[in-house]
Amino acid sequence: MTVHYDEKQQTFHLQTNRTSYVIGIAKDGYLTHRYWGERLRRYARAIPLRYMDRAFSPNPVPADRTFSLDTLPQEYPAYGNTDFRTPAYQIQLDNGSTVTDLRYREHRIRAGKPGLPGLPATYVENDEEADTLEIELYDELLGLTVTLSYTVFNELDAITRSVRLENRGNRELKLLRAASISVDFADDGFDMVHLAGGWANERNVLRRPLSMGLQAVDSKRGSSSHQHNPFMALVRKGADEDQGEVYGFSLVYSGNFLANVEVDQYRTTRVTMGLNPFDFSWLLQPGESFQTPEAVTVYSNEGLGGMSRTYHRLYRTRLARGEFRDKERPVLINNWEATYFDFNADKIESIARKGKQLGIELFVLDDGWFGKRDDDNSSLGDWFVHREKLPGGLRDLAERVTGMDMRFGLWVEPEMISVDSDLYRKHPDWCLHVPDRRRSAGRNQLILDYSRDDVCDAIIGMLTEVFSSAPITYVKWDMNRNMTEIGSALLPPERQRETAHRYMLGLYRVMETLVTAFPHILFESCSGGGGRFDPGILHYMPQTWTSDNTDAVSRLKIQYGTSIVYPASAIGAHVSAVPNHQVHRTTPLEMRGHVAFAGNFGYELDLTAFTEEEDAIVRAQVEYYKEVRPLVQFGDFYRLLSPFEGNETAWMFVSPDRSEAFAAYYKVLAEPNAGYRSIRLKGLDPDADYRIDGIDSPVGGDELMRAGVAVPQELLFGDFRSKVWRIRKV
């Protein structure tokens, strides 16, 4: 059992293999945070809760001037009854007031991990993998029950949290704020790390010291967004990639979120994460409940690298699902940057045939195959074949491709609708909109209202027909704009601010239905590249198109930043043509391949335009990737050199048994009169000997990690140079 309750101390001690988390019940039944960090054998309250009469910190019980919620480290705090810090939740009563008072009532400890109805979440395959603690808090005046759920993964060193709020009273309640997690730290000796950027520039690693007041990252765009990822870490001063304490917070959700850090006057730190309260409310009638998304927390005393590898193992094996979770992903060729909308069946067949000759395993037909889609002005929602381009239909084209012993994949964008479409002309109220306001377009498209069951059911029906019409084994699911005019024609006025979250619940239902109905299809998520690269989507689709920016140099930062939380098995990484279509940079085909090796490998270009020399390079790249693919997709990932700190990048993948590894080094620009360079490897067995490319005799794992491996001298010269190594235990 990983959850221990000490009735005498009234404490809960949650233990993974290497971490401990302790919760206490304080006076009057308030739930307190006591400890989170490296594993303790037992918790004996060496540092007790301390009380003091603090000026301007009011007292819920006037007779005791030393007790104030304003100075108490809490597990799920409220606002309005003496705590002035950011609350975890907020309820509005029918009389307009927002004061609540939750107290401990009971708890339950159970083996395993229950699912979250309608929401993505981590899971267990047997009850021995984890234990779950449910603590029930109660506001007697309102009849409000709040259940805090903690699941402790033993071997995976992670703790998940979520909250269920239930109206057991006889009056209507309105939920204004509902965080999935709140943690109070005793000090502020941290830096905050988060992932920020924009379209084609996703997930830059940013680190800044905490200061008094509020610091936050969020999305109000209706998706997790290119701008900020639903992740944040608090990193101790001096901690780095390999050592020091790190506390990670990751939200399993794909919509509007808020990750907030507040440092108060006593330099204590409160972290809250969950649904963004901006423009949100949820009506709770008597007998109704509301479930928050899941937050996944990871503590590491081995720096950011240790935290990342825990997230990678958990998300790869206990968040992603389906038959492709543990399968090697195919090398693909996608026609988007090769043809855009200008193609026909013969052109597609020619690209696929060339791909087959070069060893590629999957062809993906991108945008433009449906309706009258010759540009991005029309036809989204009209999921029937564009017969002028594909007179034989999808089945004819797919059978041409599969007849070459290649797999066939398809692009769809089923959350969108074009104004110039048969579907919009038939159902103009099916998009998100508000009365008497114009409908703003993005990329000439509107967003279907997935808060409506009839819309969701219609999309399920259309896509079921498409996916059943041909031998399709891969689907790229795109989403190319963020929400505006967020309203639903079917919701009453008092529920309009529920629309964005109801949309996500509808989306998850659609995805769950389709991935269950078509288990043989490998689904890849996309949102203009990485605009919805989050754990919520990963539960349904085990990989995501990482960025629309396919430039090799840009991808070093994008893929490095993505690896802070997400495993390489989730990262789509392709070679594209040069000059690059996003930044117009020209990089060697060799470097483009080496960068794309660090994910699910593929190509986005016209293979039929290659020279014989380029054919030979691609053929060798595909063959090499197939050899290292198990390491990349299922190995442990180590970051060696950061592109955010210099001109060079390096990383490596190590098999779980440390018998083999794959390492890569990249240099962006040449430097005059540069010195020699060596790279220290990580994750190997120090007591074993390894054979490594370029060295004739075996080398000890300790030497490779402490002295390093030499970067070849020829890489000193020229821009955009790279090198990869295979490493095998003797």
In a 13 Å sphere around the CA of 366, the CA atoms on its Cβ side amount to 21
DSSP β-ladder status, 332-334 and 31-38 = unpaired
Separation between Cα atoms, residue 319 and residue 462, nearest integer Å: 27
d(CA 173, CA 80): 16
CA distance 340 to 334: 10
Encoded amino acid at 235, one letter: V
Burial class (CB in 10 A: 0-12, 13-18, 19+), 229: buried
Annotated catalytic residue: which of 478, 534, 551, 636? 478
Do residues 154 and 2 make contact, with C-beta atoms less than 8 angstroms apart? yes
Whole-angstrom distance, CA of residue 704 vs CA of residue 712: 15
The DSSP 8-state label assigned to residue 297 in this structure reads E
Q: What is the DSSP string of 355-385?
A: HHHTT--EEEE-S-SBTT-SSTTB-TT--SB
Q: How many CB atoms lie within 10 A of CB 254?
A: 31
Q: Could you give the CA distance from residue 620 to residue 607 in angstroms, rounded to a whole number? A: 14
Beta strands in 238-347 (DSSP E): 246-252, 257-263, 269-275, 282-284, 289-291, 294-300, 332-334
Whether 6 sits among the annotated catalytic residues: the reply is no
Residues 70, 131, 548, 551: which is the catalytic one?
548
CA torsion, points 245, 309, 537, 571, in degrees to nearest 10? 130
Which tokens belong to 170?
């006889």
16 φ/ψ angles, rounded to the nearest 5 degrees = -100, -175
Torsions phi, psi for 302 (to 5 deg): -120, 40
**Using an 8 Å Cβ cutoff, are 414 and 462 in contact?**
yes
Q: Percent helix, strand and coil across the chain, each rounded to 5?
A: 20, 35, 45
Q: Return the closest-CA partner of residue 269 out of 193, 230, 215.
A: 215
User: Do 147 and 138 contact (CB within 8 A), yes or no?
Assistant: no
Could you give the CA distance from residue 642 to residue 501 in angstroms, rounded to a whole number? 36
CA 102 to CA 142: how far, in whole Å?
10
Residue-by-residue DSSP string for 155-209: TTTEEEEEEEEEE-SSS-EEEEEEEEEEEEES---EEEEEEEEETTEEEEEEEEE
DSSP sequence for 521-582: SEEEE-BTTBTT-SHHHHTT-SEEE--S---HHHHHHHHHHHTTTS-GGGEEEEEE-SS-TT
548 in active site: yes
Distance in angstroms between the alpha carbons of the first and the last residue of the chain? 40
- Report the DSSP beta bridge partners of residue 661: 654, 727
- Find, among 153, 84, 147, the residue nearest to 113 by Cα: 153
**What is the spatial distance between Cα 643 and Cα 648, in angstroms, rounded to a whole number?**
6
Instruction: Give the Cα separation of 716 and 648 in Å (integer).
Output: 12
158 vs 169: CA distance, rounded Å = 35
What is d(CA 300, CA 309) in angstroms, rounded to the nearest whole number? 10
Cα–Cα distance list, 100 to 62, 79, 141, 223, 597 (Å): 18, 8, 8, 30, 53
Catalytic residues: 478, 548
